[in-house]
């Protein structure tokens, strides 16, 4: 962090990106679900500016300060035209970029259209950029209470599509809630899993990505708003995301996303936890690691792969593999005792044949339910 003194002994903090990994974007969920009427560069510049806000000590006059050199570094711009590109992006943000925010109120739906950054100041004689947020956007950045989403600004750095950024923010909102309720409780297991496997209608997805009038052919929409953005998200962020199309009749009605977290350092290290919680969490993780290691060596894992009931990317998720080892594989042992390994193979072949797309979001739960329904039948047949 660089401190630049001003006249009258005042100080303003000009934030640099030296510790980009530690910088967080925190936004109200209503803003995450809003329609971002702006191109990629303006949206990324807004997100970068938001990461400068300390929600505990909101900036005076809604103003934050950055360095042009840091902006160019974030956008990985090195060409001779970088200053003109920056000016063009700022002009676009102020004249054409805005958020359409929809909120449910007691009397009905309320709509807001907000230009988030109406004022940007820079000059030719130093590196400083002044960015001032509009007063109307500030409640969505500092008055957060419970309904907010938090993620690292570094996750957005290499996303080069507007749709990648919009999808990543929305997926983060859902996965944050999955992590919260998994740790704190307060939701049924089915509700918690829905946050990790969120579903959105095509109409809502088109509205959120501002593609109501674009990509009218479903194949084009799938390519540019789903597949290519998810390729970027999977390559450059902490998420692995797959999806299924849900049809109503012959038309695609909605999309179900399946989010898993890549195996890396704890992304929730910013949360304050007491010693007891930390010890319990460490014990849980150690147990999960043991189950994960055992599952990776299990013959049943190989059978699931052979039957396309488990994908290689799901094998990187410790929670999924631990769930299989703890809740599913012991029941396969029971079936093996009753019907031999061939009996297990026949069961898995049948399950694969009858599998529905929604089951992919929680394969351990789906397989557990299938074997629990099948075992009593096998035992009754043996008695008869």
Could you read off the pLDDT of 227-237 as tens digits, one per residue? 999 999 999 99
Check residue 87 and give its pLDDT. Answer: 80
pLDDT tens track for 12-25: 666 565 566 678 89
Residue 176 token pair: 């944050």
CA–CA separation, 298 and 303 (whole Å)? 9
Check residue 5 and give its pLDDT. Answer: 38
Does the pTM exceed 0.75? no
Q: For the CA atoms of the chain, what is the radius of gyration?
A: 25
Point out the residues of the chain with pLDDT beneath 50.
1-10, 265-273
The Cβ-side half-sphere exposure at 43, using a 13 Å CA radius, reads 24
- For 111, other C-beta atoms within 10 Å of its C-beta total 8
Check residue 337 and give its pLDDT. Answer: 93
Check residue 7 and give its pLDDT. Answer: 37
List the one residue out of 107, 133, 176, 127 whose CA is nearest residue 45.
Answer: 133
CA–CA separation, 198 and 219 (whole Å)? 22
CA–CA separation, 222 and 41 (whole Å)? 23
Helix (H) / strand (E) element for 379: namely helix 363-383
pLDDT tens track for 188-201: 888 888 999 999 99
Report whether 28 contacts 99 (CB < 8 A): no
Backbone CA torsion sign across 222, 254, 196, 37: positive
11-15 and 63-67: which strand pairing? parallel
Helix (H) / strand (E) element for 2: namely strand 2-5
Residue 345 token pair: 């193979």
CA–CA separation, 52 and 344 (whole Å)? 55
- For 83, other C-beta atoms within 10 Å of its C-beta total 14
Place of tokens 């990505």: 209
Report whether 151 contacts 171 (CB < 8 A): no
Beta-bridged to residue 256, according to DSSP, are: 199, 244
Check residue 16 and give its pLDDT. Answer: 60
For 145: left if phi > 0, alpha if psi spans -120 to 50, otherwise beta; the answer is left
């Amino acid at each position: 962090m660089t401190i630049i003194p001003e006249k009258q002994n005042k100080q303003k903090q000009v934030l640099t990106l030296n510790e980009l990994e530690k910088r967080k974007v925190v936004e109200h969920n209503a803003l995450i679900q809003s329609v971002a009427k702006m191109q990629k560069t303006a949206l990324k510049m807004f997100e970068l500016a938001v990461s400068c806000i300390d929600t505990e000590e909101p900036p005076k006059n809604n103003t934050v300060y950055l360095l042009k050199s840091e902006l160019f570094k974030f956008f990985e711009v090195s060409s001779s035209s970088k200053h003109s590109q920056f000016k063009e992006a700022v002009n676009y943000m102020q004249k054409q970029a805005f958020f359409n925010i929809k909120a449910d109120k007691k009397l009905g739906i309320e709509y807001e259209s907000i230009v988030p950054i109406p004022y940007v100041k820079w000059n030719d004689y130093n590196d400083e950029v002044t960015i001032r947020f509009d007063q109307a956007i500030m409640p969505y950045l500092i008055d957060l209470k419970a309904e907010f989403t938090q993620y690292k600004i570094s996750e957005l750095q290499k996303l080069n599509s507007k749709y990648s950024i919009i999808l990543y923010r929305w997926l983060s909102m859902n996965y944050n809630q999955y992590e919260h309720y998994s740790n704190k409780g307060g939701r049924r297991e089915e509700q918690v899993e829905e946050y990790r496997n969120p579903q959105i209608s095509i109409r809502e997805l088109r509205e959120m990505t501002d593609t109501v009038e674009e990509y009218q052919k479903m194949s084009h929409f799938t390519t540019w708003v789903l597949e290519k953005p998810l390729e970027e998200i999977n390559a450059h962020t902490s998420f692995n995301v797959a999806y299924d199309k849900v049809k109503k009749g012959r038309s695609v009605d909605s999309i179900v996303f399946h989010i898993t977290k890549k195996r890396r350092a704890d992304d929730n290290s910013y949360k304050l936890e007491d010693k007891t919680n930390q010890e319990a969490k460490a014990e849980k993780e150690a147990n999960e690691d043991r189950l994960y290691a055992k599952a990776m060596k299990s013959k049943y894992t190989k059978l699931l792969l052979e039957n396309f009931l488990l994908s290689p990317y799901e094998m990187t998720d410790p929670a999924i593999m631990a769930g299989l080892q703890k809740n599913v594989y012991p029941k396969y042992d029971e079936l093996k005792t009753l019907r031999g390994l061939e009996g297990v193979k026949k069961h898995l072949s049948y399950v694969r044949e009858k599998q529905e797309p929604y089951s992919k979001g929680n394969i351990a739960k789906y397989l557990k339910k299938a074997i629990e329904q099948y075992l009593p039948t096998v035992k009754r047949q043996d008695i008869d």
